[in-house]
Each structure stands twice: as C-alpha cells, then as structure tokens.
Structure 1
Amino acid sequence: MITHTMNQKIHANSKAMSTWLERMVKSLGNHSDRLNAINIFPVADGDTGSNLYLTARSAHDAISKLETENIGELLTMASRAAMESARGNSGTLLAVFMAGLAEPLCGVERITAPVLATALERGKVRAWSALSDPVSGTMLSVMEVVANTARATHRASELEPESKAALVELLDALCIDAEKAVVATENELGQLHEAKIVDAGAVGMLIILDELRGALLGQVIDPDEYSQLHGYGIQDPHIHHDVVHDSGVEVMCTISLDALGAATLRGQLDTIGDSVIMSPVNPTEDGYRWRVHVHVPDAESAMSVIRGIGSPVNISVTDLCTHDG
C-alpha cells in the first residue's frame, strides 16, 4: 500500500504518533464514503466510514496542542476523548483499541518493535474483551491478526530488537497480514460472502494501520490500492440499501461503576439487546468511568436498566433504521 518514500529517517516519537492521528483522520475522511457504501454488518446502516472518521477526529483534536514526549500520555488522552464521543460499533472499537495501545506505552518516548508488539496485543485484548459477543470477519479479526503477526515477527527476527530495522520489519509484516485479514473477512461472515464484499470496519482498520506505518517510516499511502478489495471500487453502489434493515436504536452513554455494577449492567444489557460494548475510560474513586454501547428495540428499555444501576451522562440515541452516515 506504500508507494514512495518522503524521506529515509524513521520517526518513532510522540510527534510521529500525533502525525499518525492526523493522517488517520485525513485518510478516514477521504475513504468514508467508500466505507459507508459497503457497511452491512452488524447493521446495514451505511455509516462505518463516518463513525470511524468522526471518532478519530475527536482523538486528534484532543491532543492537537498537547506537548509531551510520553507516547502513552498522548494516546491515553486521545483514546479517552475518542471514547467519550465514539460513534457506532466501529468508532467505539477504535477508541477501545487505542486505549489498549496506550497502556504499555506509558512513559515510553520511542516506539520499537518489542513495545509496538506489546501495544498491539493489548489493543487487541481490550477490543475483544469489550464486546459481549465478539464476531470474527470484522475489524476485530484484523486486530487479532496484526497482534499475532507482530508477536511472531518480533520473536523470529534476527535483528537487534531495539533497532530501526526491526521496527521496519515488523511494520511491513503486520500491514501485509492486515490486508490478507481484510480479504479473508468476505468468507468469514455469511452476509459479506453473499454480498461479495469485504468488511467495512476491517478496511478501516487496515487504513489506520497503513497510516501508522506511513507516519513512522515517513511514507505515503496510495489510496487507489484499496480499490482492489472486493466491493471497494468507487463506482460500486451502496449495497446496504438492498439489505433488510434492523429496527431499533443504538444507545450510548458514559457511566461510573464499580466492578460489580459493570458486570451487572453488561449482563442485563445482554439480555435485552445486542452489540453490547463496555469499556473503561478512566479510573474513579470507586471503580471506572465506563463507555456503554448497545442496540435495543427501544431506548427506554436500555435507559431504565442503565439508570437502575447508575447515573448515565453523555447519552446518545440513534435510530438504526434511518441514519445513513
């Protein structure tokens, strides 16, 4: 996906990670229409591209004026902002993934192959565990593949682990395998196989990882390369218009809970809805501030459950039938 080198110097500091977020926003913005066009899972509402773009923009806006050498601090601030204003399943999972990435990078001032492999593993674990019912053939699959590839590449490498060459080797390997994982989604999910397309969120994740590689290595992504993915040609119709739409609403909110309260809420939401995502945003005196996401037949069914356990804020309710990017 990389076409030419801007310069040969490798950038692996907090400035490079800020550049990554900036590039992520621009690239997701450029690709949002195409991603929306192939968005049919988990809901055929044609907004995955928009949700990823708006969530990434919140992350970048939060750190645009931050001056720090601490990469973990930068990504933590970005991920918390993303979590608070995350849009949809895809945006929420991106925010959770970024929060996971940040954890092993606390106090780190330079990205190396070992630390990136650890961060990708943590991001994968956070994203998979946030969902009550994680599904393969989605952006989760891409996260899992790149985490496994990074770990395997790092362990098998004969290069000095902290060297720039080892970082290049790892980035090259994970982006190649990320693309393979995107291609594989078409045969992992029945809806995608029938429509002969790849998963929109998975493509979004590939774009995000390509931009990470580009930001660290000072390289430019060729956007036309993605057109080779099934269903991703610019002339392709918005296929979700022909898919039967789910009824109901998407409810999102933020709520402070202790561990028992969080487990109780997740269990109750699992009973009344689906696409349940719960992830801690930041610690509080008694537990964590949680971001909650669920699809339910009607908003009040979810809100009554949530209010029975705590005091939600930053509430959003979106109709799954009518919103379209």
Structure 2
Amino acid sequence: MKRWLGKAEITLGNHSDRLNAINIFPVADGDTGTNLYLTVRAAAHALHDAAADSAAHDTAPQDTAAKNDVGAVLARAGQAAMEQARGNSGTLFAVFLCAAAEPLAGHPRLSAPLLAAALNRAQLRAWSALSDPVPGTMLSVMEAAARAAAAVDSAHDGDDSNHTLGLALDAAVEAALDAVVRTEDQLAALHAAHVVDAGGVGMLLILDCLRSAVLGEELQDQLLDGLHGYDVQDPHIHAGMPRDEGVEVMCTITLSPLDAATMRQRLDEMGDSVIMSQVGRAVDESGAYRWRVHVHVPDADPAVALIRSLGEPSDISVSELALPDAELHHVRARESALQIPDGHER
C-alpha cells in the first residue's frame, strides 16, 4: 500500500500539467491534476511519516498488528487525504480511499475477493458523497473498475490466490481505460472539446499504480496512447474555455447527522458540486462525526456563514474558480514546453 501511494504520487506529479490542460468539467479551472497530486501526496506522506515514527521508537505489539493490517494502513492514508483533500477530484479520491479501507480491515494481504469488495465500497461511497453525481467522470471510472474486479472474483468462485488477484487487477485497469474513453461522449462539454475527463484519467493512473505495486510490474507505458486531448502537442483546453465565476469553499467540521443533512440541503440551494463525506468513523459523545465539505458557490460569505452557524470548521479555504488573467497568460505561454512521453513519467 505504501508502494502504491508512493507510485501514484510520482505519477500524478509527472502528469499534473496534462491533467490540468484537459480539466474542463465541472468547471474549466485547470487544477484537477494539481488537486489529485496534492491529495495523493498527503496520503503517501502519512504512511511514510508513520513508518518513520515506528522506526524511531520501540513498536508496541498493537502497532505491529496495525502495520500488517491492510485496512488499517489505508485508513490512516485515507484520513490524511480527507483532511487535506483539494478540489472535486481530490475529495472524491479521499472518499474512495477511506471507503476502500473498510472491507480490508483486519486482513494482512490483498486478494481478489477483498479487492472487489474494496473497489465496490469505494465507488458506492464516492457516488453517494456527491449531491448531484454525474456519469462520465471519475465516478464512472471507479464503478467500471469495481464491476470488472467483481466479475473476475465471481468467475473464480472467490479464489484468493495471487494469480486471481492479478487477473482482477488487470481487468479493473482495462475496464477503467474503457470508461475513460467513454467519458468523451457522456458529457456534452467533453464531447464539444473533443477530450476525455481529466479526473477519469487521474483515477486510471492511480489504478494502474495499484496494479504495478501489487504485481511488482512496471506501469503500462502505452496505457494513455490515443486519449483525446492527452498528446503532448495538444493545447491547454481549459485556457480557451469561458471563465467560471464563483469560488470553491472547503473545510472540515464536526456535525451531527441532522446538522450534516441540513448543511447538504442548504449548500445544494446555494451552489453546486456539493461533496460531503465523513472523516473516519469516530463519533464524539454527542453523536457527531467529522465531515469534509466541498462546494462551488457564487459568493463565499453565505456559505461560510452557514458552515459557522452549524459548527466550528477547521482547515477552511476559499479559492477562485476562474484563473487570474496573469495565470492564464502563463498557462498559454508554457504550452509549447510540455514534454510528456508515451509512458507515465516525463
């Protein structure tokens, strides 16, 4: 799991410019690659820091058990990702990671049945985190991967051998690629721009990193060949799109189930791209949970006032959806400098 997230951090870092270049949905703000990279980096660093702490101190028996628990390891990474999630794509990946950890709890190794269960739980949680989930995004890629892994598991009657795990991972990545290709025709904005979904490509890369880490094989060099908008000579599509007004508001906050439902309803009325998901499974003495909240709104003040009326948020951030003119000029100026070869690294 540490190898997976480490590979994903490097790979998304290498691909962030190109992912940003084709990021036009749900808004053309050109930051999907950056947001995914920073969120995955938070997850990867949480495991690196935990390993360093363990090495620096005598490890208690319960800590040793946690190190050999795939679910516990991913839960730690998922909570760090959730606390530091960036944007739609980063938040959805953090939700994916936290949910995937749950069926793996208590298990010292991954298997095809566990992979199928983890991917299914993760895609269901990601779909449900959004108030208005849309096909043709990274959600569709998550769902396709989960269905493919489940089909392999079913065909092999729950066999937990490494061989069947490899088949399930191969099938998940292949299905994810097919789902990415289909995104172009699932969303009108992508079809008009003749590009695939940026978040979907990012999720495909993350899944191929999982396959690579588990099987001990290299990343698949030709995986992205032919994806529309992904050639090195292609322009930064988002820079030529109409600029989106409004802001993105994100925070972490402790809420009761009733207050969480109230917040979701009110945010749905104020804006769009509402994502709310629990951070961990811990509940305080009043029955409240920690939540990660994300929304796009025309004006930050009403959203921030609502959030503060229901609790005390931490890590609250407000960022413009539209790139400043100076940054748009910089994006266009560097288009010709992009150098991403056929493989996953540049």
Tell me if TM exceeds 0.5. yes
Distance 1:102 1:225 in 2: 26
**Aligned 8 A contact 2:254 2:289 in 1:** yes
Q: Which residue of 2 aligns with 1:33?
A: 17
The corresponding residue for 1:11 is: none
Q: Secondary structure at the match of 2:315?
A: strand
Give the TM-score, by structure 2 length.
0.87
Report what 1:311 is aligned to: 312
Give the distance between the partners of 1:66 and 1:116, measured in 2 at CA. Answer: 24
Q: Tell me if the contact between 1:138 and 1:199 (Cα under 8 Å) persists in the aligned partners.
A: yes
- Counterpart of 1:88 in structure 2 is 87
Query: 1:66 Cα shift?
Result: 2.7
- State the aligned residue count: 308
Q: For residues 105 and 243 of structure 2, what CA distance do their matches in structure 1 show?
A: 42
Counterpart residue number, 1:9 = none
Q: Which residue of 2 aligns with 1:57?
A: 41
Given that residues 256 and 284 in structure 1 are in contact (C-alpha distance below 8 angstroms), is that contact kept between their aligned partners in structure 2? no
Whole-Å separation in 1 of the counterparts to 2:184 and 2:317: 31
Give the corresponding residue for 1:167: 165
- Residue number in structure 1 paired with 2:156: 157
Counterpart pick for 1:271 among 265, 269, 272 = 269
Shift of 1:27: 0.4
Q: More deviation in 160-169 or 96-105?
A: 160-169
Q: Distance in 2 between matches of 1:50 and 1:224?
A: 23
Distance of 1:177 and 1:190 partners within structure 2: 22
Residues 246-300 of structure 1: per-residue CA shift (max 9 Å, x gap)? 1000000010011111111100100001000000002231221000000001111
Amino acid corresponding to residue 319 of structure 2 in structure 1: T
Distance 2:225 2:288 in 1: 45
- 1:17-55 CA-to-partner distances (Å, cap 9, x unmatched) read 110000000000001111001000001011100100000
Alignment partners' CA distance in 2, 1:274 and 1:255: 19
Rounded Cα–Cα distance in structure 2 between residues aligned with 1:185 and 1:222: 21
CA distance in 1, matches of 2:275, 2:17: 25
SS of equivalent to 1:79: helix
Shift of 1:150: 1.1
Counterpart of 1:240 in structure 2 is: 238
The SS at the match of 1:227 is coil
> CA contact under 8 A between 1:66 and 1:74: conserved in structure 2?
no
SS of residue in 1 equivalent to 2:50: coil
Match of 1:117 in 2: 116
Q: Which of 175, 178, 181 is the matching residue for 2:176? A: 178
1:227, distance to aligned residue in structure 2 (A): 3.5
How far apart, CA to CA, are the structure 1 residues paired with 2:29 and 2:222? 25
Corresponding residue for residue 295 of structure 1: 296
1:311 aligned partner, one-letter code: E
Q: Give the unaligned 5+ runs of structure 1.
A: 1-16
Give the conservation status (yes or no) of the 8 Å contact 1:44–1:243: yes
Aligned counterpart, 2:258:
260
Q: How far, CA to CA, are the matches of 1:51 and 1:153 in structure 2?
A: 32
Structure 2 contact 208–220 (Cα < 8 Å) conserved: no
Aligned counterparts of 1:143 and 1:222: Cα–Cα separation in 2 = 19
Give the partner amino acid of 2:296: H
Query: How well do the aligned residues superpose, as a CA RMSD in angstroms?
Result: 1.3
Equivalent position SS for 2:218: strand
Give distance in 1, aligned partners of 2:220 and 2:96: 25
- Offset, 1:224: 5.0
* Structure 1 counterpart of 2:111, one-letter code: T
Residues 123-158 of structure 1: per-residue CA shift (max 9 Å, x gap)? 001100100000000000001111111112211126
What is the CA-CA distance between 1:122 and the residue it aligns to?
0.6
Rounded to whole Å, the distance in 1 between the matches of 2:218 and 2:167 is 17
- Aligned match of 2:132: 133
For residues 309 and 223 of structure 1, the distance between their equivalents in structure 2, rounded to whole angstroms, comes to 49
SS for the counterpart of 1:220 is coil
Task: Please state whether the residue corresponding to 1:66 is helix, strand or coil.
Answer: helix
- What is aligned with 1:48? 32
Q: Deviations over 1:182-231 (max 9, x none)?
A: 00000000000011110000000000000000000001114454132111
Q: Which deviates the most, 215-224 or 95-104?
A: 215-224
| TM score, norm. by length of structure 1 | 0.92
Q: 1:4 is matched with which residue?
A: none
